[in-house]
């Protein structure tokens, strides 16, 4: 009984092998270590058969698969033809290297392997054998000074670590010194605005002395109000002289503003320099108060 089953199984395998013809061969007679080379595998079989070729998980020993190229199935009558080209690499140093690959006939219960004939390829020896008697300093070396371009690879894990460290450092510095940093830039901006105003206001006073006009006098007063509004965050530009006095309660400032108003709204009268200098002195005092406020804030 066992012999009968074995005999029938052998006949089945032989029939599959006769129906499916497999051919595998290298495209070149010789290869070099580490350089991909093509090996083609093709199968001719009845179109009602389901034939599968080895994929990248298959062992191509002694070779390693680099990539592969499939070609569409061609069917003529009842016969189908499939082929694939595997690009392999070798890191073995054997002079002659051999390979045979199968195709798999998929049945309901199992798969039947049909192998191609073994094909061989020769390894090109890039380094000749050196006699043992030759010393190291006398070895024949081949020099090549040609520039070899190497692709630049970004170390993403290291980059992420560096970015993370920088972010943590910035946050830590801000938490520790953030208040000082903000105070430094606020003082710097305050001083810059003050010096710019004092320079422009001084030029305006000189211009009024040389060529007085009520329009220029009114523009100079408005310049002062705008700066004071910025310095103290109070609406100087919207207030009259009386409202400004009620806000700041400074007699000298109020008298200076009244004198400026009388001169501007009366024709034929020239504005004296004293009330403008009083505005300048008042501004300097308020600027110093603001500096102390920011420094101690």
Whether residue 165 lies inside any domain: the answer is no
Instruction: Please say which residue of 110, 125, 140 terminates a domain.
Output: 125
- pLDDT the model gives residue 133: 58
Whether residue 39 lies inside any domain: the answer is yes
Residue 156: Cβ within 10 Å count: 8
Question: How large is the average pLDDT for residues 133-152?
Answer: 66
Using omega within 30 degrees of 0 as the cis cutoff, is the peptide bond preceding 223 cis? no
Residue ranges making up the domain that contains 253: 181-295
pLDDT, greater one: 147 or 252: 252
Do 113 and 208 lie in one domain? The reply is no
Element (H, E) at 6: helix 2-19
| 113 close to 99: Cβ distance less than 8 angstroms | no
Residue 46 has pLDDT above 70, yes or no: yes
Do 26 and 110 lie in one domain? The reply is yes
Do 209 and 101 lie in one domain? The reply is no
CA pair distance 133, 67, nearest whole angstrom:
43
Residue 268 has pLDDT above 90, yes or no: no
| Residue closest to 124 by CA, chosen among 89, 96, 166, 162 | 96
- pLDDT the model gives residue 18: 55
Residues 182, 189, 226: CA angle, nearest 5 degrees: 125
Do 87 and 189 lie in one domain? The reply is no
CA pair distance 19, 79, nearest whole angstrom:
10
Do 104 and 203 lie in one domain? The reply is no
pLDDT band at 148 (very low <50, low <70, confident <90, very high): confident
How many structural domains does the chain have?
A: 2
Do 209 and 110 lie in one domain? The reply is no
Task: List the CATH number of the domain containing 86.
Answer: 2.60.40
pLDDT band at 132 (very low <50, low <70, confident <90, very high): low
| Residue closest to 27 by CA, chosen among 12, 36, 40, 11 | 40
Whether residue 49 lies inside any domain: the answer is yes
What is the pLDDT of the chain when averaged over all its residues?
85
Instruction: Please say which residue of 125, 151, 168 terminates a domain.
Output: 125
Instruction: Please say which residue of 84, 109, 125 terminates a domain.
Output: 125
Whether residue 246 lies inside any domain: the answer is yes
pLDDT, greater one: 197 or 127: 197
- pLDDT the model gives residue 153: 79
Q: Tell me the three-class secondary structure of 153-191, residue by residue.
A: CCCHHHHHHHHHHHHHHHHHHHHHHHHHHHHHHHHHHHH
CA pair distance 27, 38, nearest whole angstrom:
6
For residue 96, give the DSSP letter.
E
Query: Which tokens go with 12?
Result: 């089945």
Whether residue 38 lies inside any domain: the answer is yes
Residue 119 has pLDDT above 90, yes or no: yes
| Residue closest to 9 by CA, chosen among 112, 103, 108 | 112
- pLDDT the model gives residue 151: 73
Tell me the three state secondary structure of residue 117: coil
This prediction has a pTM of 0.45
- pLDDT the model gives residue 297: 75
Residue 149 has pLDDT above 80, yes or no: no
Residue 47 has pLDDT above 80, yes or no: yes
Question: How large is the average pLDDT for residues 209-215?
Answer: 85
Whether residue 151 lies inside any domain: the answer is no
CA pair distance 7, 14, nearest whole angstrom:
11
- In the chain, % helix, strand, coil (3-state, to 5) comes to 50, 20, 30
Whether residue 159 lies inside any domain: the answer is no
């Amino acid at each position: 009984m066992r012999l009968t089953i074995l005999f029938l199984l052998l006949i089945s395998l032989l029939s599959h092998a006769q129906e499916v013809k497999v051919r595998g061969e290298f495209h070149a007679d010789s290869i070099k270590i580490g350089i991909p080379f093509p090996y083609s595998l093709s199968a001719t079989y009845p179109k009602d058969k389901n034939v599968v070729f080895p994929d990248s998980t298959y062992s191509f020993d002694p070779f390693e698969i680099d990539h592969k190229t499939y070609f569409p199935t061609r069917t003529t009558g009842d016969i189908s033809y499939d082929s694939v080209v595997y690009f392999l690499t070798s890191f073995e140093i054997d002079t002659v290297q051999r390979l045979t690959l199968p195709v798999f006939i998929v049945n309901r219960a199992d798969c039947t392997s049909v192998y191609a004939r073994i094909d061989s390829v020769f390894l090109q020896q890039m380094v000749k054998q050196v006699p043992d008697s030759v010393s190291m300093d006398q070895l024949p070396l081949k020099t090549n000074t040609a520039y070899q371009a190497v692709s630049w690879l970004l170390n993403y894990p290291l980059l992420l670590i560096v970015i993370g460290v920088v972010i943590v450092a910035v946050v830590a510095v801000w938490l520790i010194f953030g208040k000082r940093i903000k105070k430094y830039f606020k003082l710097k901006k305050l001083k810059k605005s003050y010096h710019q105003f004092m320079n422009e206001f001084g030029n305006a006073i000189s211009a009024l002395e040389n060529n007085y006009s009520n329009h220029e006098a009114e523009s100079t007063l408005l310049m002062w109000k705008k700066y004071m509004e910025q310095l103290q965050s109070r609406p100087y530009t919207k207030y009259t002289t009386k409202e400004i006095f009620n806000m700041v309660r400074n007699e000298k400032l109020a008298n200076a503003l009244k004198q400026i108003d009388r001169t501007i709204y009366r024709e034929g009268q020239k504005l004296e320099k004293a009330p403008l200098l009083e505005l300048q002195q008042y501004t300097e005092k308020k600027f110093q108060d603001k500096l102390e406020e920011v420094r101690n804030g």
